Amino acid sequence: MNKYSLPGKLFFSVWILAVVLFYLKSFPFITDFFSFGWLIINGQAISKIIFGLLFLGIFNLITSGWGSFWRSLFLTDKKEKSLWLIDIAVGIIFFSVLTYLFILAGWSVKFLAGFFLITGVLLFIRNQVFVQVIDFFRSNQPSLAYIFYLPFLLAPFLIALAPATNYDSLVYHLALPEKYLAAGKIVAVPENIFATFPQNAENLFLLALATGPERLANLLHFNFLLLSVGVLWLIANYYSLNNFFTGLFFLSTPAFLLIAGHSFIDLAVTFYVLLSFYCLERWTVSDKFWIYPLSIFLAFIPTLKYSGFIFWLGLLIVFVVKIVRSDGQKYLGRYLGLFFFTTLVLLSPYLIRNFIFYHNPLAPFLSSVFPTTIPEVVIKNYLGHVQGHGTRIKTILDVLRLPYEITFQGQKFGGAYDILGPIYLAILPGLFFLRKDDFIRFKNLLLFGLLGLAGWLVTARVLRFLLPVVALWPVAVVAVTNSVLADKRRFFSALISIILLHNLLLVFWITGFINPGKFISGQLNREQYLTEKINNSYYPAAAWARKNIRHGKILLWGDARSFYWHRPGLTIIAPTVFDYPALTEQLNKCNNIKNRVQSLADYVYLNYPEGKRLGVEMNWVTIARNKKLLTTIYQDENSEIVQISKNEND
């Protein structure tokens, strides 16, 4: 920074200090998080922690074994310290696709899991993948440095070891795989709009649910946090930056930690975006190896989540710019064809499924082009909800205010988990002080960041959807601190330490409300934990129904969360908050409510406080009860299960 004027230095220093102080004023230090007593170290806690670590180790072992097998078929002589992560990524794709094909055919997924385990271990040994593992860690920071990561990893790891309580998981990330397992195959779920989305991440959760408790699915998502750190090390090494601090800034971002222990899918998208970007940067005209993993990982991104198309397109544009600058235009058509082909192949199972079940391959989108079985009001409700997140972007001033709002009002862009901390707002403006040669070095990273942010702004402004771009910001932070802040390291090291500590305390404080330690240490058993920690808990009713209702259809009214309900013999109909209006309208307009109610289900679960929270109408329930069509067979303080009379004389 010595080449810049004193006013420039002073302005940037004052900016960083002001952002940090204002953030600490807005989010004061949490001093009472210890009062939660959220973990007691005992035999149960130790056994669950060891179980989680073993599962993570075995999963990465067998996926890298299978990934090395597929790589060895085509590229046997490549020597790279990044091959271990590439093998894991390929193995995960193979597991996901094959799991989907198995459940689609109605074959045993549990058998498939056993096959993966045995063959994966054998391939790991045969292909000497352990050599790549050793090389990977040797090429990074000494093992002592990893100790600084542990405090940040602890909270999400403990959340992953507890039963799932997150709303999105209970509605679709885990609920849909559980439904498919109960049915023994992929089935249409017309009352859940999320069933139309690509589900390659949920396929992994399905594999986990087929072999054990839902904690395995939580751990799979946590694993993507660890893998993303590994890719960031590789990217930092490529740019000749400190990879330890790159990983530390990433792990200290609350938004990543607060979702990592839940069975979301956003960190899976983040991992494959980061790995695609790394392969893109490594590709050159003279080293064509990287084009093949790039094509596979790039294609996999939109099959995890529709919003992944934003990053798919952004990476595609960056690649086109790079190949043109590299005088590789003669390869452009061939490579673009490869990218489109692999994307179509990996996406085609879901396009075919949607066409068969919902008459629209791209459901719920483009309903004006493809007439669909999904009611228009449902699609309108969903798109309106997604686009309603965050702030309206109408003027340049709105765009300029966005960094402040994302940093200080992140809950407007999704919820309580959408907290980035102040470090990016404080440090990233230093990019304007970078030397020209540094800008050239980071041009692809900066271009992708701008494209990803622009795509996010014009689509769904949910902060979780932006995380694949945010994951690259630590690289830029390290670049700024290395060059621009080099002569003020002591002062800014103190500020950054305060930020890291604040982020850590905030994560522990929020984790305290979930309190996974009560389950891990055995203070609460599974039933007690789920009853206490699920908001407006439906778990007691679900447990009763699984035990006492042998077969039949159960309509969940006032509650969209169907996970923990499904088992063979029970068909659960759980409309989402977007699907309720269409079904309510049908019931309210029905001339013969008796026939309509009897055709819907055999039983109805009514969750009154949750229904009130979601704004679900109960008028038809009152009418049906007055007509003596409903008989209460279960009741608790929040809800009841009623049986629908099938008597023709009623």
Q: What is the pLDDT of residues 131-172, one digit of tens each?
A: 888 777 776 665 667 789 999 999 999 999 999 999 999 999
Q: For residue 391, is pLDDT > 90?
A: no
- Eight-state DSSP code of residue 639: E
Residue type at 297? F
pLDDT band at 37 (very low <50, low <70, confident <90, very high): low
Task: Read off the tokens for 12.
Answer: 């940037």
For residue 25, count CB atoms less than 10 angstroms from its CB and return exposed for 0-12, middle for 13-18, buried for 19 or more: exposed
The kind and range of the H/E element at 633 are strand 630-635
pLDDT for 482: 81
Three-state DSSP state, 435? coil
CA separation for the pair 641, 361 (Å, rounded): 36
pLDDT digits (tens, 9 = 90+) for 82-134: 889 999 999 999 999 999 999 999 999 999 999 999 999 999 998 888 888 87
Return the exposure string of 137-172: e unless at least 16 CB atoms fall within 10 Å of the residue's CB, then b.
beebbeeeeeebbeebbbbbbbbbbbbbbbebbbbb
Task: Give the CA dihedral 591, 593, 598, 600, nearest 10 degrees.
Answer: 80
pLDDT digits (tens, 9 = 90+) for 548-602: 999 999 999 999 999 999 999 999 999 998 988 888 877 777 767 777 778 889 9
State the greatest distance between any 2 C-alpha atoms of the chain, in Å, as a whole number.
Answer: 91
- DSSP track, 447-459: HHHHHHHHHHHTS
Q: Residues 184, 571: contact at Cβ < 8 Å?
A: no
pLDDT band at 393 (very low <50, low <70, confident <90, very high): confident
Mean pLDDT of 296-324: 96
Q: For residue 337, is pLDDT > 90?
A: yes
pLDDT band at 299 (very low <50, low <70, confident <90, very high): very high
pLDDT for 352: 96
Beta strand pairing call for 639-644 and 630-635: antiparallel
CA separation for the pair 121, 479 (Å, rounded): 40
Beta strand pairing call for 570-573 and 552-557: parallel
Return the exposure string of 219-228: e unless at least 16 CB atoms fall within 10 Å of the residue's CB, then b.
bbbbbbbbbb
CA separation for the pair 66, 204 (Å, rounded): 15
Q: Residues 630, 645: contact at Cβ < 8 Å?
A: yes
pLDDT for 595: 79
pLDDT for 509: 85
pLDDT for 133: 82
pLDDT for 359: 92
Of the candidates 479, 468, 442, 463, the one whose C-alpha atom is nearest the C-alpha of residue 389 is 463
CA separation for the pair 375, 364 (Å, rounded): 10
CA separation for the pair 126, 145 (Å, rounded): 31
pLDDT for 35: 45
- Is the peptide bond preceding residue 151 cis, with omega within 30 degrees of 0? no
Most confident range, picked from 27-41, 46-60, 485-499, 504-518: 46-60
Angle at 472 between CA 467 and CA 473, to 5 degrees: 90
pTM higher than 0.85: yes
pLDDT digits (tens, 9 = 90+) for 252-262: 999 999 999 99
CA separation for the pair 544, 551 (Å, rounded): 13
For residues 204 and 435, the model is more confident at: 204
Q: Residues 154, 161: contact at Cβ < 8 Å?
A: no
CA separation for the pair 439, 633 (Å, rounded): 68
pLDDT for 294: 96
pLDDT band at 8 (very low <50, low <70, confident <90, very high): low
CA separation for the pair 51, 461 (Å, rounded): 37
Task: Read off the tokens for 620.
Answer: 């038809």
pLDDT for 136: 79
Of the candidates 110, 81, 133, the one whose C-alpha atom is nearest the C-alpha of residue 184 is 110
CA separation for the pair 650, 629 (Å, rounded): 7
Three-state DSSP state, 467? helix
pLDDT for 102: 95
CA separation for the pair 63, 42 (Å, rounded): 32
Q: For residue 314, is pLDDT > 50?
A: yes
Mean pLDDT taken over the chain: 88
- DSSP track, 557-600: ES----TTT--TTEEEE---TTTHHHHHHHHHH-S-HHHHHHHH
3-state SS track over 306-360: CCHHHHHHHHHHHHHHHHHHCCCHHHHHHHHHHHHHHHHHHHHHHHHHHHHHHCC
Residue type at 7? P
Mean pLDDT of 39-43: 81
